[in-house]
C-alpha cells in the first residue's frame, strides 16, 4: 500500500537530511550532542511509524528494501571514515574530504527519495484515473 511507500520515504529522506546537517555542527563540544540528536530522532521515528502502520491496518513491520537498509547502514562506515580515518590518514592533504563524502552520500539518499516520491505520485494518479 501507499502507506508503506510513504513510511520508507520518510525514513530514507529524514536520515539523509539529518546526517547532511552534521558537518555544519563541527565543534568538538557539539559532536556528541549532534550525533545524539540524530540517534534520538531515529529511535523516536521507528515506534512512531510502527504505531502509524498499525493504525491504518497494516502490520507493524516497516518493510524496507535491501538496498534501503544498506544505504541506512552505510552511515556508520561514513561516520567512521569522517571521524577516525580521515584525521589519521589524509586530513592535511584533503581537508574537505569528509564534507564531500557526506554531501555525495546524502545526495544519493535525497535523489532516491525524490524518485520514490515521484513513483508514489504516479501510482496515486494512475489509481485516480482508473476510478474515473
| Cβ contacts of 43-50, under 8 Å, gap ≥ 24 | 45/10, 45/11, 45/14, 49/7, 49/10, 49/11
pLDDT tens for 59-86 read: 767 788 999 999 999 999 999 999 999 9
Section 19-28 average pLDDT:
89
Q: Is 37's pLDDT higher than 80?
A: yes
Higher per-residue confidence, 132 vs 26 = 26
pLDDT digits over 97-109, tens only? 999 999 999 999 9
Q: CA end-to-end span of the chain, whole Å? A: 20
Question: In angstroms, what CA-CA distances link 47 with 41, 43, 52?
Answer: 11, 7, 8
Give pTM, 2 decimals. 0.86
How far is 15 from 115, CA to CA, in rounded Å? Answer: 16
Q: Which has the closest alpha carbon to 119: 108, 129, 127, 130?
A: 127
**Domain total in the chain:** 1
Residue ranges making up the domain that contains 45: 2-131
Amino acid at each position: 500500500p501507499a502507506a508503506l511507500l510513504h513510511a520508507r520515504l520518510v525514513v530514507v529522506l529524514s536520515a539523509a537530511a539529518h546526517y547532511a546537517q552534521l558537518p555544519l555542527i563541527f565543534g568538538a563540544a557539539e559532536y556528541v550532542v549532534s550525533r545524539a540528536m540524530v540517534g534520538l530522532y531515529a529511535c523516536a521515528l521507528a515506534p512512531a511509524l510502527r504505531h502509524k502502520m498499525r493504525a491504518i491496518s497494516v502490520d507493524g513491520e516497516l518493510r524496507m528494501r535491501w538496498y534501503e537498509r544498506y544505504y541506512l547502514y552505510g552511515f556508520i562506515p561514513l561516520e567512521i571514515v569522517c571521524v577516525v580515518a580521515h584525521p589519521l590518514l589524509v586530513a592535511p592533504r584533503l581537508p574537505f574530504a569528509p564534507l564531500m563524502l557526506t554531501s555525495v552520500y546524502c545526495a544519493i539518499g535525497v535523489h532516491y527519495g525524490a524518485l520514490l516520491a515521484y513513483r508514489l505520485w504516479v501510482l496515486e494518479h494512475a489509481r485516480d484515473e482508473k476510478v474515473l
